[in-house]
Amino acid sequence: MTLKTICLTGLLMIGLVGCSGSTEGTLTVSAQNAETLAVQATLTTDFLLQMDDFVTQFADLFEDAEAQAALCQGGSASITPNDVAPLGVLSTGDSIIYTFNNCSFEIFGITFSFAGTVTLTATEISGTPGAAFVRELDVSYQSFTFTLGEAFVRVDGSYTVRASSPDGNANTTSISGTSLAAYLGGPSLSVSRSWTDFALSRTEDTGANTYAMTFDGTYYGSIIGGSISFETPATVSGGIDSNPDTGTFRVTGLNGSTVTINALDNVNVELLIDEDGDEVIDATITTTWAALEN
């Protein structure tokens, strides 16, 4: 685990926050906004998985005293561990609190900084990554702020992240929580995003080079001007580092209006739009993943 890795993860967070049974949202889905709302499914899952990368790096830091001592070039960081046996190794019952006070450092001539608090509690640790293992952590953020230049992301909330594998080949990451919020600020920037009652699960099979993913929850975005809810009627799957080639996401808005996103293959996608919640398709859009995401 390196400072460079943490900073690159934070940089991706800034980009993802700044990009433009379920309950109903506050926006009505229509043929005019369906593509914009459909993109939020991709951005939401990407952001939550990026947050999991942050957790992994901070959890690895628990076992690296040398990296802890060299964490800040400027400012300060207070690291408070509660280390139960075996000592020095992340195990069930361990916890660690990182409190950052403008902890700054420079990488590639760019200055990054952290502020706020991150708390990790290990609720289940067993096995060895690369073989059969489980690593489950409760994570809490209190005004955790990552700053790059004049832009920053502030995160508040909590969730549980669980990484596991039965054999070292099929690795599952699950992220679930009741409330998580992220705010992007800076010159001419003010973007809010939040997630409630969310659960994401993604399994990657490195032997087959495939993934399978589900996501459910409610999302608010200031860019879209309201909230929508996600669900996964059919597991979304495809090749690792590729667009989905099978599966279905559904976005639900006000009065039961929906856009159902069907993966036709890893190039093409179909949007089925019900504008009034009567379960009758009012419009169909067939496009490509590339066009949808751009």
Q: Domain containing 249: what range?
A: 3-20+22-293
20-43 per-position pLDDT tens digit: 444 456 789 999 999 988 887 677
Q: Give this prediction's pTM.
A: 0.84
Close Cβ partners of 239 (under 8 Å, ≥ 6 residues apart): 209, 210, 211, 245, 266
Report the candidate in 256, 203, 216, 179 with the shortest Cα–Cα distance to residue 41.
216
pLDDT at 210 over 70: yes
Residue 232, both tokens: 């996964």
Q: Which residues contact 15 (CB under 8 A, 6 or more apart)?
A: none
Q: Is the pLDDT of residue 154 over 50?
A: yes
Task: Give 254's DSSP letter.
Answer: G
CA–CA distance, 142 with 115 (Å, rounded to integer): 9
CB-side exposure of 97: number of CA atoms within 13 Å?
7
Count of domains for the chain:
1
Residue 104 token pair: 């700054």
Are residues 27 and 227 in contact, defined by beta-carbon separation less than 8 angstroms?
A: yes
| Tens of pLDDT, residues 230-262 | 999 999 999 998 999 999 999 999 999 999 999
Q: Is the pLDDT of residue 17 over 60?
A: no
Pairing state between β 133-148 and 151-165 = antiparallel
Using one digit for the tens of pLDDT, what is the confidence trace for 56-115? 777 777 777 677 777 788 999 888 888 887 777 889 999 999 999 999 988 777 788 989
